[in-house]
Structure 1
Amino acid sequence: MTFFRIEMLFFIWTVPLLLLVIVYGMRRRRDILNRFSSGHGLGVIAPDTVGGRRWIKGALLMGAVLFGAVALAGPRYGYRWQEIRQQGVDIIIALDCSRSMTAADIQPDRLERAKREVFDLLAMLEGDRVGLVAFAGTAFLQCPLTLDYDAFNLFLGALSPDYLPVGGTDITGALETALTSFDPKSASDKAVILITDGENTGDGDPVKAAEALKKEDIKLFCIGVGGSAGVPIPEAAGGFKKDRSGQIVLSRLDETTLKKIAMVTGGTYVRSVAGDMDLDAIYTDEIRRKMEAETLASGRRQVWEDRFQWPLALALLCLVAELMLPVTRKGLVAGLLAALILSPLPPAEASDTREGIAAYEREDFEQALKHFTDAQLDAPDRPEMLYNVADAYYKTGNFEAAADHYRQALETDDAGLKQKALYNLGNTEFRRGNAREAIGHYEAALSLDPEDSRTKENLEFVKKVLEQQKQQQQSGDSQKNGDPKDQEDQEQKSQSDGARDSKSDQDPQQQEGSRDSRPEGDGEPQRPEFGDEMDPQQAQQAAGDKPPDDGPPDQTPRADRQGGQTGDPGQAERMLNRLQDQPGRALMPAGGRRTVEKDW
């Protein structure tokens, strides 16, 4: 047995203190009574049974304090093994620590503002490895790629312009150092986040360094810190930085270079403005959503089972018994009143869940979401509650929130609930445009229930959609390289196909009948070319461009009688809207010093 907060056991020392208080009170009471009577009269006024009851009540009170202290210590007995996996991408943050970064056009100054943004970024990371490159006139790896964000924070907090031996801003050196800091054996996607004012004083060409990153499939994201108006650079000893002619040096943001090198690698450039969540936006929209994560660490961890409920129940039992045990007959009324007050009431969680299910069944999904959210307040970590909220979010079209809640619902030992969450998470990720992630979730669901035909159909469907898009993309590339006549013929064919696709505005039943009467593959609708990954709008188009179905889908596979048109929008909708499971059921070498002309 272990304790989560063993220091709470010191409260046990209050038990002997309480005993002294009880003994003193009993003797004091006896002395007071002896002043008024003695002998037989005292036995009538204060019989021995009354004194015995007082000792019992005192013992019950001490027992309540004792067991309460043990419950506060958080006893844990028994454990289970939990599988853990950390997935993410490799990110190197190159931070400019030159003297120009101490300019105060951004409060408190450029460097401190950049460091605060990096601190905020660390709070958002979801299993990604992060490294730190500090640079001025030279660059070096301050912190290698790591999953220990606390250690990264220590290295980041120690950075200052006095930390580096050479002044200046060598952007080329920073990018080259970042490139060599990645693990060449890692298969995960890689990114460099460059935070600087853009005033390159180094000898190298930043564009060539960016091209080297591109050859290794590393994206560069640039954040410009500072303003376009020139500001003086403060010196550590006071005053402002001056050049050889005695003129005050003015530092200004050079956006041109930063935009150019970001564009070379396919990354983006943003300007840091007070109040903007620029670094957060880069991570959320560009890195996490568009880059492929790899399993960086996996294993098992020992999870202890909390047993505080046992001593807590004993403490409550002693307390209730002490309140209900009367000293006199009048005390019996107080005991009955205490029992009535402490009697259990129907939990609000159950009521909200029932109302949410009722609203869900009558297809009032907004109201169902409200009730499920209210029920979750009483049990925010229960997988069943998270699953219910995810279902409601899915039905209202908020697929991002639905995916987040489905992932949280996976932290359950219920294999059935986990399989449902994986299946629905696959549907949700496809609608968000993450087709490959959807395939992974379907495969995980099949590992739990290999006989689930619906999951098999969805998995086959998404794989075929990806394969068809690759073939269409290759066909489009060959058309661009062909002769004009072939392109003209292809355009005429596309127009002819477009004429057939215009029939998509007809009633679904009529379209289905026309497909049955056409040869196999004839008039197959054109689908967007989204390659291996799709944006959410394209995924919606591939899935039928409509919200979740109002009722359960047709259980009969329809690929055969539709001529094998697996990418048909109607079929996509039928296959990806099977949220039938009712909710609530179970539910960073040291370089030599050198002299530089521009050391800011």
Structure 2
Amino acid sequence: MNWGYPGYITLGILLALLVLGGSIAMWLHRERVLALFVSKDRVQELTASMPSWEYWTRTGLIMGAVTLGCLALASPRWGYVLEKSNANSLDVLIAVDTSRSMLADDLVPSRMKRTQLAIQELLKLGEGDRFGLIPFAGSAFLQCPLTVDQEALRQHVNLVNVDLIPEGGTNLGDAIDAAMEAFEDHEQDSHKVLLLFSDGEDHDENAVAKAEEAAQNGLRIFTIGAGTPNGELIPVNYCPACDSSNRPDRSRCRVCNAFLTPNKEFIRDENGNAVRSRLNESMLEELAETTGGFYLRLEGAQTMEVLYKNGLAPLPKSENTSTMVRRQRERYQWPLAGAVGLLLLEMLWPMGRRRRPAPAIAIILALLLPFSVEAATLNQAAKQYQQGEFALALQEYEELLRHDPGNPKLHYNAGAAAYQAGKHNEAAKHFRSALRTPDLKLQHRAFYNLGNTRFQLGAAMKNPEDQIPVWEEAADHFEAAAQLNPQDPGAQRNLKFVRHKIDEAKRKLEQLSDEVPLDGITRFKQDDEKEYTLRVWPPDREQIPERPYWRMFALDHYAHGVAKVSDSLRAQAKALSPAEYGGRPPAEPVLSGTWRFRFEPLFSEFLPMNGPFANAQVENSSWRYNPAAFQARLPDVPTHAVEYTLIDPTDNARLAAGPLDAPLQPDAQNDFTTPREDAYPFTTLQLNLSPTEISQLLGVLEKITGDEELPLAELNEKIITWLHAHHKYTRQTRIPEDEQNDPVVRWMLTEEAGHCEYFAYSYTLLARAAGHPARIVCGFAGGEWDDKTESWTNEKTDAHAWAEVFDGNQWIRVEATPPEENQGEGEEPEQNPNNGQQGDSQDPNNGEGDPNNPNNESGNQQGDQPTDEDRDEGDLPPELLETLRQAERLLDALKTDEKPLSAIEAEKGQPGPRIRRPKKDW
């Protein structure tokens, strides 16, 4: 509502107070005043016939009439009406880039949203001018013709999005052509202006030529750059059904209407590299200067003020005949009618006690009916909110939104009420709607409260995997609020708090970090809460080995069952671009081409790689690379999938030695008497065992080597053979709770089964005991080819630990883990060729039948198949019967004192019989 002459409002209040003061004086001195005109008897009759309530009612009617009369003089106005007017105005067409690059978020919240807000600000500045709207991408069209109806134009602006035009690209020339066609239908002497919002990444070579042609026809172009020169990646959400790209905020695919999962990805080029959209200011400047306009970079509300003040306002305006102009409606009739009605009511009010006031009350109620109850409802909602009745306040605000659905302030108030009522999903919906406001202060508050809402939604979740993405959104909202108002300490404080909670949640996850306990890899593989995967797109499928190893990090320090990266090795990580192949010639042939990787979130801050590389590109620009150990690391565990590329990498079967490895001479021997420096590379020779444990370890090594000094290749073969002969592979080994003795040395002295960490750690200790530097490596091993995505895929069950030993010139990969029964190291059971079922049975013959009876092709059934309780055990081979008896005894022992298998065999005085399967030599 606006007032034409607001000064009359003050006058009305003063006159009403004057009437009230006069009425009070008249009432207090009524008898004396009447005595001046009538006799004393008549005075008593007149004063007795008018009760006090009637007198004050008449006074109130007069005061109301005076007040309403002054309000009518103040000329209240609300609502709009279109009228023909011969107004002088500018003709401005606004062209908006709707290509995918406008989704980039180098402008908060995105280039497209910031452009829409800027247009809203411009419409406020250019009231009375005619504006039109032209969206363009690969093509352009006139969405809204020139009009002075700014409300209609605002609705069109809010509808602009990147899905509006199916043709991709940014065709600036088509936008200029569409503007020229739109101006052909209007007066020839009108002053034509094209305001072009774009990032300038033009795919049309004729844009400058089109601008020169437009300048000859009197069109002046002003360009606004949406973006930053550094640019940003373009977020999209790919449909799992049709693989089409969609806006990240869509819930259904724009092509096939399939449901979309909230998975933020980025647009890629033909080579699979992430596309970074940058602001092309030179192109936009050239277009503007060609037509006599100028270029501005979109940096806030002040950009539109500068544009209008220095660019549009100085231009001469033309007379537009028969122009429909939106005028505010004069509403003085309502208060004037009320004033007249109150005066008539006061004049017709009967004197004396004998009249009933019911008709007058009815007239008053009838006069009140035309007035809207919206103000009362809004006040009631605010009152309920202040009283803590948040659910009722939310209902009132939602009722108001039914009448005014696009009101950002109502959405904000409804969001605040829903938040206080604990309805956080509804609160988030309303706060998002409030972000559409051009008011940056309200937008800042909406971002701030949306961050609070998303945090509360995450806090209500139990699993860290679910909490972290929601809290990341909360952090983004707090960051946006802090950017809109840098003076707000609350946004900065909440942003810091949410980041701390995200770090806490990440620490609760089973991850692969640079400190791996003895069961760290296996515990992660057995965690079935979420399937983490690694996808690799090689230049050629044939370049992937039969069993690839994707190396993540090397652990040089070992102590009491825990391997980790030493501080000295960790300090070698560099933030600068890595030199080719770590600054030294590669030891393996180069796998030419570009290798693309996609690493799922919440798994590890280390990136799996096949080996040293010539160059690399990682989405996170703050990643660090350690050329000493060939490992890449992000600042923290990512909450979104990480995509990166390696150029011309090599395999990791052999790794060239670096400058830090120089002290490791080929003939170095470890006598364990002189303490070595606790720094890399000497950490690759340290045992960190007690004297007793060192003696036990040397005893095992003496059994393996026969107390002979063997070449490294022969030593490796004998150590692996000995480990495989005394230990089987399993994922179910129980880690002993023994704080005094080293668990790996204790395990080597038994014949218990173990997982990959036991074998890798045991080999490392034995190699170091023999005087050879060795370290533990973690990553992925194995996997399979996915024909659908044409990529090599690793699931979390492919996580693996192996070893690397130094031969004096290079580091050699050593696989010490034996295969699972008829399986590869750490791999899921394969399908049995005899029955096609996956085996999980603990029977050593596991679906292969009797190895001593080649005619038995079917073997035992696997999995959860029912068994025959009445079978004749005499029909089974003796070896299988003995194995079944040992399994039963093992189960009984585990129920009582949890004796390992070696203890049961020791009671017999000799090792139990073993049925060995052919094992693949990895």
Q: For this structure pair, what is the TM-score category when the shorter chain's length is used for normalisation?
A: 0.3 to 0.5
More helix per residue: 1
Rg: which structure is higher? 2
More strand per residue: 2
* Higher RCO (CA < 8 A, seq sep 6+): 1
Structure-2-length-normalised TM-score: 0.27
